[in-house]
Structures are given as structure tokens and as C-alpha cells.
Amino acid sequence: MDRENTRIMAGHSPDGLTSPRVYRDINWEDHDLLKTAGQQLANHLALMDTSDELANARQFETYNRLSAFIVHDLKNLVAQLSLVVKNSEKHKNNPEFITDAMETLTHSVEKMNRLVSQLRKGKVALSRRKVDLHDALQDVVIQQNNALPVPQIEQPAEAISITTDQDRLTAVLGHLVQNAQDATDKDGWVKLRLYKRENQAIIEIEDSGCGMDKSFIRDRLFKPFDTTKGNAGMGIGVFEARQYVQDHGGSLEVVSKPGEGSKFILKLLLSDSDIEAIDYKREVI
């Protein structure tokens, strides 16, 4: 390679307008530097493209996750309406059945309207307020009393409340109760308990069903979209329940053995007023 070509390759014009003070040949180090700079530029462009794709994927993931929870709730609403339709021929002339059916339809329409609204907005709109847990458990029992065994509430000694979104709380408890009913024979039982411990409200959902072994609880129970119900289930009820209690600074414990039933223990923080009442009682004592 002659000196004139070397000058041109080095980025200098032959007329000498931008000629360097010292001329030198382009060697392997220059080629390696250019190659490294090109690789870094290519990596930067690839990283930009990957970041854009990741951002889009996260948006779709959020939307798909929301859709999964909404479909799960819609499935439960469809089950309730199906029972109304199934029993309508037999009890259509019974005024009490008509009243219960209208209440079920009203509740279902309100719930579906909220779900559609959430899907349009792309997020779950939460309305946090003080909720009486005993009233919430009664709503769940009414919601699930069309399936056997009918859940029973063991009456608490005093009123207990937390600050939360009532619809989400009812949905979470409803999923756990329905799972308990599905795992239990019709002649078995499902019991709900409510009590206080320190600054927490404790909700227990216990059944006399088939139970679970430790490996299932460890590896599959809280895994989303893993279900033992086939096409009848979606596998997100327990996952949503654990996420709910964690969002409220609580915990979800499971006690179960094969053939001996299961107990789900939800621990939720009490509302501030209830915590103050507990502290006041301690000071008085």
C-alpha cells in the first residue's frame, strides 16, 4: 500500500488541507480499534431494540395478567348464573327463589360492569375503605351457598375490620372457599373462622376434603396457571390470595395432609382504629 492510499484511508484528503503533522500507516491496532467501536455501536443498537421489545412485552404481560384475573372472576359469575338457570325450571313458581335469583342477577351484573370497566382502563381500580370482615364472610357464604357443602361461619366474639378493597377481598375469599368446596365431598364440611391476634385479623378457611401433600403445597399450589381441575380451573385463585395478603403486609399459611382436609390461614393487618382499640384495652388493664 503506497503512502497516498494510506493517507486517504486514514481520512485525509490528498490536497493536504487536513493533513496530519505526522503521517503513519494504518496497522492492525487501528483495525482492531475500528472493529471494537463497530461492535460497541452494534451492541448499543441491539440493546435499544431489546429494551423497546421488553417494554412492549411488559405492557402485554400486565394486560394479559389482568385479563386472566378478570376471566377467572367471570368464570365464577357464569357458574352462579348457571345454577340459577338450572334450578329455574324446578323453582320458578317459588317467590323466594325468584327473590334470590334477582339478587344473584343484580350482583352478577354489577360485578361484570366493574370487570369490563377495569379491562377498558387496563388496570384494577381499587377503592380502599374500612371493611367489616364478618360482613365480608357473610357475603362470601351467600355467594357460594349454591354449591355443596355449604360453608358455615363460626361466629366471632367481636367486630373486626381492616382497610381494604371490599370487592377484591370478597373475590379472594370466594376463590378459597370454592376451592375448599371442590376438594370436599357433598357430605363433608367447610368452616370459616374469624378472630384477632395482636395487630392482625385472622381468617381461617378449613375443609374436610382430600387434602394436599407437602410437595404439592411447595411446588404447585401457589404456581399461577397450574390447576388440577382441568378445563374447569385456571390455577390463579390461591396465587391471587397470597398476593393479596402480601400487599396488605400479611401472610398466607396452609396446613394440610392427604385425606385429612386443608386449612388456609390468612393474616391481615387490622385497620388503625382497631389497633388503637387494642392498645387502649392493654393500657386500661
For residue range 208-223, what is the model confidence (pLDDT) as tens digits? Answer: 999 999 998 888 888 8
State the DSSP H helix or E strand holding residue 62, giving kind and residue range, or none if neither: helix 28-91
Cβ burial of 177 (10 Å; 0-12, 13-18, 19+) is buried
Look at the chain and report how many structural domains it folds into.
Answer: 2
Residues 55 and 153 in one domain: no
Residues 141 and 270 placed together within one structural domain of the fold: yes
HSE, side-chain direction, 13 A CA sphere, residue 217: 14
C-alpha cell at 180: 375448599
Residue 131 and residue 239 in one domain:
yes
Is position 87 within any domain? no
Which residue type, as a one-letter code, is found at position 56? N
Count the neighbouring beta carbons within 10 Å of the beta carbon of residue 199: 13
Residues of the chain with pLDDT under 50: 1-12, 275-285
Q: Are residues 146 and 250 in the same domain?
A: yes
Domain identity same for 143 and 17? no
The answer to whether the CB of 180 falls within 8 A of the CB of 151 is yes
pLDDT reported for residue 149: 92
- CATH number for the domain spanning 271: value is 3.30.565.10
In a domain, 69, yes or no: no
Question: Within a domain: residue 169?
Answer: yes
What rounded mean pLDDT belongs to the chain?
78
Are both 240 and 157 inside the same structural domain? yes
Task: Answer whether 268's CB lies under 8 Å from 245's CB.
Answer: yes
Tell me: do 136 and 244 sit in the same domain.
Answer: yes
Identify whether residues 249 and 135 lie together within a single domain: yes
Domain boundary among 42, 59, 76: 59
**pLDDT tens-digit series, residues 59-80:** 656 656 666 666 667 776 777 7
- Does this model's pTM top 0.75? no
Query: What is residue 167's predicted lDDT score, i.e. its pLDDT?
Result: 79
**Sign of the dihedral defined by the CA atoms of residues 201, 205, 211, 216, in that order:** negative
Question: Can you give the pLDDT at residue 1?
Answer: 47
Residue 122 placed within a domain: no
What pLDDT is stored for residue 276 in this prediction? 47
Q: Tell me what pLDDT residue 282 has.
A: 38
Is 137 in the same domain as 237?
A: yes
Whole-number pLDDT of residue 265: 94
178 is a domain residue: yes
Tell me, what's the pLDDT at 148?
85
What's the domain range around 40? 3-59
Domain final residue, candidates 40, 59, 78: 59
Q: What is the pLDDT of residue 193?
A: 93
